[in-house]
């Protein structure tokens, strides 16, 4: 057993000064003799972050489908405080996606990943962002069924544009297969977005970005998502994708319980400025901002969850408990794994972070073990 003494525990309903007990990789309620006691000197303890949308980091990408690359990405983000990771794939040709999902499913089965997210290929050309428009295609139930089978239960989410022909049928098929349907990269009017949520879609992919903008006479997918209490809205809180005032607006509209901070991180994260790839697309990173080479379309981010969490407090002005909820419990709830991770509650996995006074990550614990 390990006992973390003199900690400021960040809980869903506030911050509590006290001790945290850890036994057999889980958060415990009582102390057994011979416990290893660590005095944290009043440091914050927050739940390990849960990133439900991340493409890469440390110079590598999940898109390659190579185990070495996937481990490099996951381990980089783990060291930065993301204890639960979903591997996101951008639009690719059928063979590439099939191979990548099959390979990543093996790593999910081993516990390295919490699943796989398909961002595409059923997206709107008008809102393709950093996806290759030549590879976009209409929803294909047969292809989706093959990808689900290759995922062996580890395909967790698919982002699609609900206005495309057959998209609502694919939303229903995803729900039936236990895959989260997400609305994103879309030009859908509000009525179609609401129909997608009515059919079972439960996530809005990086709200505001790569989707029809909010208009006072046509709210589009943004208003549809913010007004639906069943929908979790993703936000990339890097100061590039959305400004702090817009993050505050989204939290005010939906509540921290429906806002999931994500990174949408690509290979450049942790590497600095330079030239990179996102799928088949060339990306340039300048001053930490990733855009398509020769263009202005944002191509993912270069932040970690710790960066987005800290900005939620320092730039957006959220209380630390709301920032922790948005970075851990809300995405865990959206993924259906909140019984195991996402908060510092008894019986859950001992996935947690110790923060210094400036909110930087001092130590990371995964399953009761310090990194």
Active site residues: 264
Q: In what order do the strands lie in the sheet with 259-262?
A: 49-54, 82-89, 116-119, 155-160, 180-183, 203-204, 232-236, 259-262
3-state secondary structure 205-260: CCCCCCECCCECCECHHHHHHHHCCCCEEEEECCCCCCCHHHHHHHHHHHCCCCEE
Would you say 307 and 264 are in contact if contact means Cβ atoms under 8 Å apart? no
**Residue carrying structure tokens 């002005």:** 317
Q: Return the closest-CA partner of residue 258 out of 237, 236, 227.
A: 227
**Cα distance between residue 121 and residue 203, in whole Å:** 17
Count CB atoms within 10 A of the CB of residue 149: 14
Q: At residue 328, what are phi and psi to the nearest 5 degrees?
A: -135, -65
């Amino acid at each position: 057993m390990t006992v973390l003494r003199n900690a400021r525990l960040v809980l869903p309903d506030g911050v509590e000064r006290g001790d945290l007990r850890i036994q057999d990789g889980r958060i415990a309620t009582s102390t057994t003799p011979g416990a290893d006691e660590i005095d944290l000197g009043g440091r914050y303890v927050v739940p390990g972050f849960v990133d439900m949308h991340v493409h890469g980091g440390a110079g590598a990408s999940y898109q390659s489908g190579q185990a070495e690359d996937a481990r490099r990405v996951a381990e980089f983000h783990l060291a930065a405080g993301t204890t639960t990771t979903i591997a996101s794939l951008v639009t690719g040709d059928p063979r590439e996606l099939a191979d990548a999902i099959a390979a990543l499913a093996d790593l999910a089965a081993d516990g390295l990943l919490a699943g796989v997210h398909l961002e595409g290929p059923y997206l709107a050309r008008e809102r393709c962002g950093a996806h290759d428009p030549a590879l976009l295609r209409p929803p294909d139930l047969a292809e989706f069924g093959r990808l689900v089978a290759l995922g062996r239960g580890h395909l967790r989410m698919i982002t699609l544009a609900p206005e495309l022909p057959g998209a609502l049928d694919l939303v229903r098929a995803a729900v039936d297969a236990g895959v989260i349907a997400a609305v994103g990269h879309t030009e859908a009017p509000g009525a179609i977005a609401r129909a997608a949520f009515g059919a079972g879609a439960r996530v809005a992919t990086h709200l505001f970005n790569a989707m029809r903008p909010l208009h006072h006479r046509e709210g589009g997918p943004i208003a549809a998502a913010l007004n639906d209490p069943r929908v979790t809205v993703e936000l990339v809180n890097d100061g590039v994708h959305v400004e702090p005032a817009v993050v505050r607006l989204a939290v005010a509209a939906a509540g921290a319980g429906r806002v999931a901070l994500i990174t949408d991180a690509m290979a450049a994260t942790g590497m600095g400025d330079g030239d990179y790839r996102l799928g088949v697309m060339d990306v340039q990173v300048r001053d930490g901002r990733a855009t398509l080479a020769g263009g202005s379309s944002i191509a993912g981010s270069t932040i970690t969850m710790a960066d987005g969490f800290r900005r939620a407090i320092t730039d957006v002005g959220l209380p630390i408990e709301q920032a922790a909820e948005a970075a851990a419990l809300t995405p865990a709830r959206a993924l259906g794994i909140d019984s195991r991770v996402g908060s510092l509650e008894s019986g859950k996995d001992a996935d947690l972070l110790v923060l210094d006074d400036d909110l930087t990550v001092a130590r990371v614990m995964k399953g009761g073990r310090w990194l």
